[in-house]
Amino acid sequence: MAISVNTLTQEIHEIPNNLDDSAVIEDFLSRHSGKKVVAVQGLGFVGAVMSIVCANAIGEEYAVIGVDLANENTYWKIKSINDGAFPLIADDPKISEFFDNALAKGNFLATYDPVAYQYADIIIVDINLDVQKESDDKGDLKSFDVNLDSFKKAIQSIGENCQDDVLVLVETTVPPGACEQIVKPIIESELAKRDLALDKYRLGHSYERVMPGPDYINSIREFPRVYAGVNQISADAIENFLKTIIDISKCKLTRLEHTNATEMAKVLENSYRAMNIAFVVEWSRFAEEAGVDLYAIVNAIRARPTHANLMYPGIGVGGYCLTKDPLLASWARKSFFGAEFDLEISVSGVSKNDQMPVFAFNRLVEVFGDISNNRVVFLGVSYRGDVGDTRFTPVDTLVRMVRGTGAEIVLHDPFVSYWEEQKCAVRSDLAEIIESNPELIIISAGHSEYKSPEIMQKLLESEPTKIYDTIGLLNYEQIAMLQEKHIVSVLGRGDI
């Protein structure tokens, strides 16, 4: 029996043996005749939210079918949606509002059956495309590669089923060149196999900066978009579709001349962010050596509009995108466009960022000495504040290194109850954890709960302990208050 576990709730679901869902899809569509059908391929952090944005479109009533795979890691998302529970936890009230609205209208169905693409007017590709990295135990990147097999298979499942006048909109972050060199030939070859017209389908690429967290929905609906089509009619069709889901009174649509350009824009945008973080890493070390507070320095510099996005120091870069996108770009440069060299600065920036948790550990040992007999509490395992996403979280490396000393580990996160990558439970009873008087508290994610006055009060009332803030969550006033009782160190804040 194949099973799929919902990591948010630990619920276990049996994966159906019969993967023919066509009767369910036809029944769903019979209740929405006359509506355009949008199929969203991939029900992850982007696709699940994109699906409910489409189900609550601004200028059109769509019937939305989300498609994911029926395997042990993903089937629970399909089951969860059809059972009326959204598969992600995020601190944005609009998520439940949009999902509840879709449930009330009954215009959102999830399935594992690619037959859904047969009915779709518009297919949005929101699947993952991973980079395989080889690094040493310090996080130093030794090599990387991009295996396109799963991506090609996913596009093939669209080509095998879609209508000949479908609009395919790729939102997956792809190596620049992918729509032209990978997606287009697959779609055309599959249409040709079915003797369908090759001049009616429309294809393009568009990207957003989906920001899981308190503005999750608006990061799709009210955020500037860049798009391009493989030809003029494709670009026009994408523009018309985007205008039905994005509030263009609040944000701008920008058309670029070629899908190569939008694909490059996406990875350049993320690479710029990743480089900005990597750049501040060495300054963080310098600040610690010089005994100065890099947060205060960055704040002083950020007051000038020209430097307002200089990054703060921190525990490292996590999440699915910044840890891979510069590498996707570099890989494409060599594999699709024949360049001899990598995007060297971008690649080395990823490597620097991957080493940040190792620096965080070294600094911890430097400041606090031997922690092998300590009970160590981590406040936050997610890579980002107010989000339950542990993919490539830098906390992972730090936890492993602290555990390696022999210290006992206690993990807390309000958004993660089970840490898939570490295969362990994560606690949510923060007050109790602090009351249990751990010897070391590491602040490792910027969740709002950790900034609350109640938690500060609990920390002030607890037995003297060591507090290590790796993300600059504590302000000066809080540090000063805590230092009256505890030993406090903040990564990047020099001597304090």
* Contact (CB, 8 A) for 77 and 48: yes
Using the minimum distance from each CB to ligand NAD, give the nearer residue, 19 or 431.
Answer: 19
* Closest separation in Å from C-beta 153 to ligand NAD: 6
Residue 153: how many CB atoms within 10 A of its CB?
A: 11
The span from the CA of 89 to the CA of 420, in Å, is: 15
Residue 394: alpha-carbon gap to chain centroid: 14
Using the minimum distance from each CB to ligand NAD, give the nearer residue, 109 or 459.
Answer: 109
Using the minimum distance from each CB to ligand NAD, give the nearer residue, 186 or 376.
Answer: 186
* Closest separation in Å from C-beta 270 to ligand NAD: 8
Using the minimum distance from each CB to ligand NAD, give the nearer residue, 287 or 347.
Answer: 347
* Closest separation in Å from C-beta 151 to ligand NAD: 8
The span from the CA of 175 to the CA of 130, in Å, is: 10
The span from the CA of 237 to the CA of 421, in Å, is: 40
Using the minimum distance from each CB to ligand NAD, give the nearer residue, 212 or 313.
Answer: 212
* Closest separation in Å from C-beta 212 to ligand NAD: 6
* Closest separation in Å from C-beta 485 to ligand NAD: 39
Tokens of 230: 């493989």
DSSP-derived secondary structure letter, 417: S
Using the minimum distance from each CB to ligand NAD, give the nearer residue, 47 or 318.
Answer: 47
DSSP-derived secondary structure letter, 333: H
User: What type of residue is 491?
Assistant: L
Using the minimum distance from each CB to ligand NAD, give the nearer residue, 394 or 494.
Answer: 394
Residue 336: alpha-carbon gap to chain centroid: 26
* Closest separation in Å from C-beta 25 to ligand NAD: 15
Binding site for ligand NAD (CB under 6 A): 41-47, 67-69, 74, 126-129, 150, 153-154, 157, 172-173, 209-210, 212, 320-321
Provide the β-strand partners of residue 399.
Answer: none
* Contact (CB, 8 A) for 202 and 168: yes
Using the minimum distance from each CB to ligand NAD, give the nearer residue, 67 or 488.
Answer: 67
Kindly give the residue spans of alpha helices, DSSP state H, lying in 369-450: 394-404, 430-435
Using the minimum distance from each CB to ligand NAD, give the nearer residue, 44 or 414.
Answer: 44
* Closest separation in Å from C-beta 476 to ligand NAD: 32
Report how far apart the first and last C-alpha atoms of the chain are (Å, whole number). 56
Of 109, 115, 114, 122, the closest CA to residue 29 belongs to 109
Strands (E), 149-298: 167-170, 202-207, 225-229, 253-255
* Closest separation in Å from C-beta 18 to ligand NAD: 18
Pairing of strands 225-229, 202-207: antiparallel
* Closest separation in Å from C-beta 319 to ligand NAD: 7
Strands (E), 129-221: 132-135, 141-145, 167-170, 202-207
